[in-house]
Amino acid sequence: MPEIGLVVFPGFQCLALAAQTAFELANLVTGENFYSVHLLSLEGGMVPSSTGFRMETESLHDADGIDTLLLLGGTLPPDPLPSMTIAALQAHARRARRVAGLCTGAFLLAQCGLLDGRRATTHWIFAKLMRERFPAVTVEEDRIYINEGAVWTSAGLTAGLDLAVALVEKDLGQEVARSVARKLVMHHRRSGGQSQHSELLDLAAKSDRIQTALIFAKNNLARPLTVETLAEAARLSPRQFSRAFRAETGQSPAKAVEQLRLEAARLMLEDSRHPIETVARETGFMDQRRMRESFMRQWGMPPQAIRRAARGVGAAA
């Protein structure tokens, strides 16, 4: 029975605990207690979360036979760890089959030297800081999770669930992982190579009408999305719509639609095996040439390279 150890430190984020649900549901799906999950801290006892909520933990010193060690992050990068704590984590990591840093938990792995010479990810807000603090680590902020052999890292807090489901897939296969994802009501299983970026979040429309137009565009990318069409969805005149759209988003409607199409096309490339031509058609680029030109402007690489990069990360052992 693989024992999963979730290690928390004072100020951990409660949402990071959601990762344990993937292992609980894997037991439910298989009909056996395949995983045993433990909440650990260095000394055990009550540990306060970032909101002050306290959790009872077992002592890491008493935890023998941990198969998978997950270091949970908080809303901010952790302070430097004492040398004794680093030594304890290093010792347990050496004995474990695999170790992972969830969100800012990647900083903990880096402090222990476990990411030196490896690729890693963390929450995109703190990627630059991680790169500055740990120059021996290759930080890739535009990833949901990264698997580098026995060492895993994930992006922002909800990405910990994607990582946990990926661990379940490694252990129990694709069908069990899919069933776990369905029970978690995950919109879709995100591969490790997927972007942390969300174009709708970045556009951040303030009014319901502009938000309605953006949602309409996202749901109808294969259609011609003219200013007149979007203005009709927002129930504004084309002139009013264009003015309000630029004021709220800082972009023209045409540029925003292209960004939404790029995001959708990248998602299809990373998470499906549809031919490039089909991806271009279903996301509104009309043909491969136009989509390639947009990809080169946005990311400096063609769609095929994006697909290869995503599969390369996801396929890591």
Residues 212-218: contacts with CB under 8 Å, at least 24 apart: 213/241, 213/245, 213/253, 214/256, 214/260, 217/256, 217/257, 217/260, 218/260, 218/264
Rounded CA separation 157/265 (Å): 24
pLDDT of the residue at 185: 82
The CATH number assigned to the domain with range 199-314 reads 1.10.10.60
pLDDT of the residue at 202: 60
Residue 153 phi/psi, 5° resolution?
-140, 150
Domain boundaries, the chain: 3-183, 199-314
Rounded CA separation 14/55 (Å): 9
Asked whether this chain's domains 3-183 and 199-314 adopt the same fold, the reply is no
pLDDT of the residue at 300: 87
Q: What is the pTM of this model?
A: 0.65
Of the candidates 116, 120, 15, the residue with the CA atom closest to the CA atom of residue 72: 15
The CATH number assigned to the domain with range 3-183 reads 3.40.50.880
pLDDT of the residue at 200: 57
Segments in the chain below pLDDT 70: 187-202, 204, 311-317
- CA-CA-CA-CA torsion for 177, 183, 184, 190, nearest 10 degrees? 40
Contact at 8 Å (CB) between 234 and 212?
yes
DSSP for 179-215, written as a single string: HHHHHTT-SSPPPTTS-S--HHHHH---SHHHHHHHH
Contact at 8 Å (CB) between 284 and 259?
no
| Residue keyed to tokens 């925003």 | 256
pLDDT of the residue at 316: 37
pLDDT of the residue at 190: 53
Side chain identity at residue 192, one-letter code: G
pLDDT of the residue at 58: 96
If 0-12 CB within 10 Å is exposed, 13-18 middle and 19+ buried, where does residue 224 land?
A: exposed
